[in-house]
């Protein structure tokens, strides 16, 4: 040990004090002395000693009282050896009863002194080692507690009587409950789903875990509860409940189900109209009015075409989501893309007297993108601008260069939308439905696809609209 | 002549069903939205209503039916809901359980596409009641 062990020698006889001091100093100990009990207490308050050699009979505070003080205030950090001329068994017993470790009988030889001191210091070392071990054990406990507290999963431990005995912060967060000693199982799990699973695990003879999925904390959060038997040396001690946040998975599943349901709905709706028309024709009730039959067949064709378009869009989305759409990113002039799209829609627009205009200061608006993606974005926006326009209206596409992006405005003079109608505009299968839109066909996938495609380029789309005046879509495409 | 009101946002479906039922001797009025349907009911008292579910919103049909059944003038008119959003396509529509019946005020739900002679058969059943 690098640091010298410290000894306090308490004796009212100066010769004895000094004699002991010299012997102990020689053997490498650091020695302080005190003349009486009061002085001893002062020293003990200032300094930590490994060993105290205390004379029993002193005026004022005697040796027992100093020993008691050490036991009470300092504990096993300081080992006490009593020095006394009372060499009886009773005295020895009395000394240890007061908490001293050993007893040194006056008169003693330096050898006796060193022997007793050596034993005492050995004892002292043992005590220190035990304390160190206990400290480490304790901090290991702290470590596992810290680990439990740092976990992303919630942890709850219930004892065999199903009383909660441990709950980490994450579990408190999931269940919106603070752990207290008064907490009962029914406070944590008000409904039977998890409670009955806990009962099953506790009463089962096999240590098989059970899992339950249910809302916790709020309807927006979905938690997986896994319940395991807590065993110690093969004996049932309770259960551990692990709580995992599965909200994202649950939401994704819900979205997927919603999407599939909507797909089914959107596929069946046009079929319903087509089948009904065919039903009518089959009755023969229109045999006298062939022009009416032709009209119906035309509508069947239109709805069939729309259905085909929807199926194509769905397959495209599916392929895109699966990463199976091959893309070749190249430098493309947006102006050219838009010009060719406007050209494609020219005939359709002219039929309704809609004027198509492109406004661009420069010749080139270069972006890095896949041509197919750009076509899809502007085909959808221009097609919407014509479909939802008024007859003899206009559709204007404006290109603007900004610092980090190119901004494209697609403005129509059409029916426009109310604020509340625009809320879900970019969601799959959302279509504004009112008297004005009832005759306009669409898949409900166009704008959702535009948004998806754009966000894959970190682009952005927004919309402004005034009912009966028109709508402007603004696309920002990063350069 | 029995009177039918059809409410559906699909104008082709309205057209086909209207022609069919007219050919079978019904008087048919159509409406392409909930509000149009409610407005029609002020001047036209049908013997039965056929209503779609997903119109302006996914549950517009239910709102429409509740309004019809909550109105003392029209509360006894039977309603057949025809929808492509049926349970087989993943929608949790269930009029069997009592708590759902509380707010889903329809007499029957049929899945689209509906064969029109089957639909007429259903209409006849209700008219006989």
Q: Is the pLDDT of residue B88 over 80?
A: no
Q: Give the pLDDT confidence of B8-41 residue by residue, as tens digits.
A: 988 899 999 999 999 999 999 999 889 999 999 9
Q: Strand, helix or coil at A101?
A: coil
A327 Cβ contact partners less than 8 Å away, ≥ 6 residues apart: A370, A372, A373
**ipTM value:** 0.88
Interatomic CA distance for residues A229 and A236, integer angstroms = 7
Segments in A325-370 forming alpha helices (H): 334-351
Q: What percent of chain A has pLDDT over 90?
A: 51
- Which residue in B12, B55, B91 is closest to A273 by CB distance? B12
Which residue from B minimizes the CA distance to A265?
Answer: B84
Q: In whole angstroms, what separates CA A136 from the centre of its chain? A: 31
Residue holding tokens 């702290």? A142
Q: Is the pLDDT of residue A384 over 70?
A: yes
Question: What value, to the nearest 5°, has the Cα angle with vertex A30 and ends A26 and A31?
Answer: 90
Q: Give the pLDDT confidence of A336-362 residue by residue, as tens digits.
A: 999 999 999 999 899 999 999 999 999
Residue ranges per structural domain of chain B:
3-122
Higher pLDDT, A18 or A130: A18
Q: Give the pLDDT confidence of B59-74 residue by residue, as tens digits.
A: 888 899 999 999 999 9
Q: How far is B70 from chain A (nearest CA, A)?
A: 24
Chain B residues close to A303, C-beta within 8 Å: 12
pTM above 0.80, yes or no: no
Q: Please judge whether B56 and A268 are an interchain contact, meaning their C-beta atoms are less than 8 angstroms apart.
A: no
Mutation target among B13, B23, B38, B121 for the A interface, most CBs of A within 10 A: B13
Chain A residues close to B17, C-beta within 8 Å: 276
Q: Strand, helix or coil at A281?
A: helix
CATH number of B3-122: 3.40.50.2300
Residue holding tokens 């669409």? A442
Chain B residues close to A292, C-beta within 8 Å: 19
pLDDT at A101: 86
Q: Give the pLDDT confidence of A440-467 residue by residue, as tens digits.
A: 777 788 899 899 999 999 999 999 999 9
Mutation target among A269, A277, A299, A430 for the B interface, most CBs of B within 10 A: A269
Q: Give the pLDDT confidence of A43-68 residue by residue, as tens digits.
A: 999 988 999 999 988 888 888 889 88
Residue holding tokens 């210091």? A121
pLDDT at B99: 62
Q: Please judge whether B85 and A277 are an interchain contact, meaning their C-beta atoms are less than 8 angstroms apart.
A: no
Give me A422's structure tokens.
């625009």
| Residue A136 backbone dihedrals phi, psi, to 5 degrees | -65, -40
Residue holding tokens 């009990």? A37
pLDDT at A85: 79
- Which residue in B12, B32, B112 is closest to A268 by CB distance? B112
Q: What percent of chain A has pLDDT over 70?
A: 97
Beta pairing partners, A81: A53, A102
Q: Which of A233, A240, A225 is nearest to A148 (CA)?
A: A240
pLDDT at B94: 59
> Strand pairing of A218-232 and A355-360?
unpaired
Which residue from A minimizes the CA distance to B14?
Answer: A273
Q: Please judge whether B90 and A435 are an interchain contact, meaning their C-beta atoms are less than 8 angstroms apart.
A: no
Q: Give the pLDDT confidence of A151-192 residue by residue, as tens digits.
A: 999 999 999 889 998 899 999 999 998 888 788 998 898 788
- Which residue in A265, A283, A435 is closest to B89 by CB distance? A265
Q: Give the pLDDT confidence of A282-331 residue by residue, as tens digits.
A: 999 999 999 999 999 999 999 999 899 889 888 888 888 888 888 889 99
Q: Which of A431, A428, A424 is nearest to A450 (CA)?
A: A428
Domains of chain A: 6-144 (3.40.50.2300), 151-245 (3.30.450.20), 254-321 (1.10.287.130), 329-478 (3.30.565.10)
- Which residue in A261, A283, A303 is closest to B89 by CB distance? A261
Q: Which of A79-83, A120-124, A264-268, B88-92 has the lowest mean pLDDT?
A: B88-92
């Amino acid at each position: 040990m690098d640091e010298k062990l410290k000894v306090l020698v308490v004796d009212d006889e100066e010769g004895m004090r000094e004699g002991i001091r010299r012997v102990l100093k020689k053997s490498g100990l650091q020695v302080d002395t005190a003349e009486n009990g009061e002085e001893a207490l002062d020293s003990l308050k200032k300094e930590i000693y490994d060993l105290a050699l205390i004379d029993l009979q002193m005026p004022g505070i005697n040796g027992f009282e100093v020993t008691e003080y050490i036991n009470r205030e300092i504990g096993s950090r300081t080992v006490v050896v009593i020095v006394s001329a009372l060499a009886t068994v009773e005295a020895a017993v009395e000394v240890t009863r007061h908490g001293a470790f050993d007893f040194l009988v006056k008169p003693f030889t330096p050898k006796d002194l060193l022997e007793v001191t050596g034993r005492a210091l050995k004892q002292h070392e043992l005590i220190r080692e035990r304390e160190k071990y206990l400290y480490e054990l304790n901090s290991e406990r702290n470590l596992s507690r810290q680990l439990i507290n740092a976990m992303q999963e919630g942890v709850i431990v219930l004892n065999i009587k199903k009383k909660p005995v441990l709950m980490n912060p994450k579990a408190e967060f999931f269940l919106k409950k603070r752990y207290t000693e008064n907490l009962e199982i029914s406070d944590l799990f008000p409904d039977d789903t998890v409670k009955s699973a806990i009962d099953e695990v506790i009463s089962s003879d096999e240590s098989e875990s059970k899992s339950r999925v249910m809302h916790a904390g709020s309807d927006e959060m979905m938690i997986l509860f896994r319940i395991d038997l807590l065993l110690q040396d093969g004996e049932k001690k309770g259960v551990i409940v692990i709580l995992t946040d599965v909200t994202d998975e649950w939401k994704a599943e819900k979205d997927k189900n919603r999407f599939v349901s909507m797909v089914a709905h959107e596929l069946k709706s046009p079929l319903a109209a087509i089948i009904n028309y065919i039903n009518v024709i089959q009755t023969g009730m229109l045999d006298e009015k062939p022009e009416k039959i032709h009209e119906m067949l035309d509508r069947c064709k239109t709805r069939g075409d729309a259905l085909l378009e929807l199926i194509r869009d769905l397959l495209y989305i599916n392929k895109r989501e699966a990463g199976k759409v091959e893309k070749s990113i190249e430098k493309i002039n947006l102006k050219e893309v838009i010009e060719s799209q406007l050209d494609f829609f020219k005939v359709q627009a002219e039929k309704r007297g809609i004027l198509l205009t492109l406004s661009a200061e420069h010749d080139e608006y270069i972006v890095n993108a896949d041509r197919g993606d750009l076509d899809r974005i502007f085909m959808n926006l221009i097609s919407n601008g014509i479909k939802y326009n008024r007859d003899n209206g206009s559709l204007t596409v404006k290109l603007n260069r900004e610092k980090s992006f190119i901004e494209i405005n697609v403005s129509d003079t059409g029916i426009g939308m109310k604020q509340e109608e625009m809320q879900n505009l970019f969601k799959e299968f959302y279509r504004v439905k009112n008297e004005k839109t009832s005759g306009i066909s669409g898949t409900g996938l166009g704008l959702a696809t535009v948004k998806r495609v754009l966000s894959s380029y970190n682009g952005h789309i927004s919309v402004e609209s005034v009912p009966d005046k028109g709508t402007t879509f603004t696309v920002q495409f990063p350069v | 002549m029995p009177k039918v009101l059809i409410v559906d946002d699909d104008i082709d479906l309205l057209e086909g069903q209207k022609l069919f039922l007219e050919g079978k001797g019904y008087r048919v009025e159509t409406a392409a939205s909930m509000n149009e349907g409610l407005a029609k009911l002020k001047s036209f008292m049908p013997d039965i209503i056929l209503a779609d579910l997903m119109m302006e919103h996914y549950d517009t049909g239910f709102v429409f039916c509740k309004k019809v059944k909550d109105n003392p003038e029209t509360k006894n008119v039977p309603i057949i809901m025809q929808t492509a959003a049926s349970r087989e396509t993943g929608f949790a529509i269930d009029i069997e359980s009592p708590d759902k019946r509380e707010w889903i005020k329809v007499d029957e739900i049929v899945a689209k596409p509906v064969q029109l002679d089957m639909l007429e058969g259903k209409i006849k059943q209700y008219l006989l009641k």
